[in-house]
Amino acid sequence: MKTNNTHDWLNQHGDYLYRFALARLRDPHLAEDVVQETFLAAIKSPNFAEQSAPRTWLTGILKHKIIDVMRKNVREVVVSDLMSDEDANMDEFFDEKGHWADKPQKWDMPEDALEQKQFLGVLQTCMEKLPTKLAQLFLMRDVHETDNEEICKELNISATNAWVMLYRARMGLRKCLEINWLGA
Amino acid sequence: MLSCKQASQIISQSLDRPLAMRERFALNLHLFICKYCKRFSQHMQCLRVAIKQMTNSIENDNTIEMPLEAKKRIANLAEANRTQPKT
């Protein structure tokens, strides 16, 4: 009976869970992995048979698995290259006096559905250009709306560190959007 | 007086934490005279909204499906977990 459930659930919710994970992790293989872990955790759970709203329940498990992956990934970047050059990389954005190297332009925001779709396409490409781990931290904050305090606790980093990383991610994305959206 | 570099940092952080009174004051003063940082601030808001839209559009895109291989693998693993007695 349990297996039947798994098959049904896999058919009914597998694609949704996969997309949910993909939207947050931006990596098809990682997304498969977390969905797999979610199902394995689900069938081992004593609450398995009693779920009246399996999708919600499975999504709840999936969220935890996603955070686990992010935690692991982001921790690596913190240790590896964040501490050393807190300020160095910002040189591409500002001159020595702290003025904008490239002045932010006026953005004409997409108005119709087609333009909006194009804009999101550019954003997607820009996200892919960010270092994966930076992108994940950014998504954790801005999409998951994970509390900053919680991020720091989860990742075992200082608040200052988190702000620096998020700042970098936003600066990089903004610049990429400006070049590729306005330049298009 | 804040530099644009400092102002942009504070703008980013305002998305992550409440600003102190004097930070808010210094930032507002800067934004009053600097149209570039004002634009930057608008871009940050816009980015936040767009990122959510993008996530939603992936989440609701029915054309994206989990690869069949992965589904089979998960089904097999689930089966194996069922038949093997717990150790």
Q: How many CB atoms lie within 10 A of CB A140?
A: 23
How buried is A161 (Cβ within 10 angstroms: 0-12 exposed, 13-18 middle, 19+ buried)? middle
Query: A-chain residues within 8 Å CB-CB of B59?
Result: 16, 19-20, 23
Provide the pLDDT for residue B25: 96
**Residue A13 pLDDT greater than 90, yes or no:** yes
Residue B9 — left, alpha, or beta (φ > 0 → left; ψ -120 to 50 → alpha)? alpha
**Shortest Cα distance, chain B CAs vs residue A80, angstroms:** 23
DSSP string, A36-99: HHHHHHHHHSTTGGG-SSHHHHHHHHHHHHHHHHHHHHHHHHIIIIITTTTTGGGGGTB-TTS-
Q: What confidence tens digit (pLDDT) does each residue in B8-54 have? A: 999 999 998 899 999 999 999 999 999 999 999 999 998 988 888 88
Q: What confidence tens digit (pLDDT) does each residue in A16-56 have? A: 999 999 988 888 999 999 999 999 998 888 777 777 788 99
Given B12, B52, B70, which is nearest A32 (Cβ)? B70
**Shortest Cα distance, chain A CAs vs residue B9, angstroms:** 7
Distinct helix (H) and strand (E) counts, chain B: 4, 0
Residue of chain B minimizing CA distance to A161: B13
Average pLDDT along chain A: 81
Whether A65 and chain B come into contact, CB under 8 Å, resolves to: no
B78 and A14 within 8 Å at the Cβ level: the answer is: no
Tokens 């509390």 appear where?
A147
Query: B-chain residues within 8 Å CB-CB of A178?
Result: 43
Provide the pLDDT for residue A84: 44
Whether A79 and chain B come into contact, CB under 8 Å, resolves to: no
Q: A3 pLDDT band (50/70/90 cuts)?
A: low
Q: What ipTM describes this predicted complex?
A: 0.80
